[in-house]
């Protein structure tokens, strides 16, 4: 009789463990992507760490680091409407902004207000935006509120969008 109760207890324990395991495997998401069944999910801390590395390299004007983190064919969309491709175009933007700040007596730097990573739920028919993970970050400096989207795949920035508005 003790063996039967022990067996029942063991089966109940395993059954409860499996129920908990199944609920952990369910994709936790919200939001939507127009004309698809996809949703938005939180992504990994790895994407946030890649963002932090780019943010630091940008501030330090460490162009070798930028080249190592940005894909050669990365798509860049600047707040002023210009488009670029790859690390050299991003480096040119950084240097241009830095020189403009020097000429105008504006201190180089910004406050990173937040950053978080998201990704699209899996699909059988992925589009370019479905690849990898995205980081949304907000910054402020003396004059602007800046919002940027970074898309990372395989440890590299592959897509970047920048938007800004005056603080006043």
Return the ∠ at Cα 38 (arms to 33 and 43), rounded to 5°.
95
Q: Determine the pLDDT at residue 81.
A: 92
Asked if the model's pLDDT at residue 105 lies above 60, the reply is yes
Provide the whole-model pTM: 0.80
CB burial of 127-149 (b: ≥16 within 10 Å; e: otherwise) equals eeeebbbbbebebebeeeebebe
Q: Determine the pLDDT at residue 10.
A: 46
Tokens of 29: 């998401």
Task: Give start and end residues of each alpha helix (H) in 80-138.
Answer: 86-104
Q: What is the widest separation between alpha-carbon atoms in the chain?
A: 88
CA distances from 54 to 98, 146, 158 (A): 16, 16, 12
| Average confidence score pLDDT of the chain | 85
Q: Determine the pLDDT at residue 23.
A: 46
Q: How far apart are CA 85 and CA 54, in angstroms?
A: 16
pLDDT tens-place string over residues 24-81: 456 576 777 777 777 777 888 999 999 999 999 999 999 999 999 999 999 999 998 9
């Amino acid at each position: 009789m003790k063996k039967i109760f022990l067996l029942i207890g063991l089966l109940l324990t395993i059954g409860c463990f499996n129920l908990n395991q199944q609920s952990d495997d369910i994709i936790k998401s919200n939001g939507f992507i127009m004309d698809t069944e996809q949703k938005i999910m939180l992504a990994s801390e790895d994407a946030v760490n890649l963002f932090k590395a780019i943010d630091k390299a940008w501030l330090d004007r460490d162009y070798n680091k930028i080249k190592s983190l940005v894909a050669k064919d990365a798509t860049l969309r600047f707040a002023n409407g210009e488009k670029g491709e790859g690390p050299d175009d991003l480096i040119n933007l950084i240097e241009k902004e830095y020189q403009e700040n020097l000429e105008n007596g504006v201190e180089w730097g910004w406050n990173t207000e937040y950053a978080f990573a998201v990704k699209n739920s899996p699909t059988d028919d992925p589009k370019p935006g479905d690849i990898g993970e995205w980081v949304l970050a907000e910054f402020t400096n003396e004059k602007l509120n800046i919002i940027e989207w970074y898309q990372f795949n395989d440890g590299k920035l592959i897509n970047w969008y920048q938007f800004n508005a005056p603080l006043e």
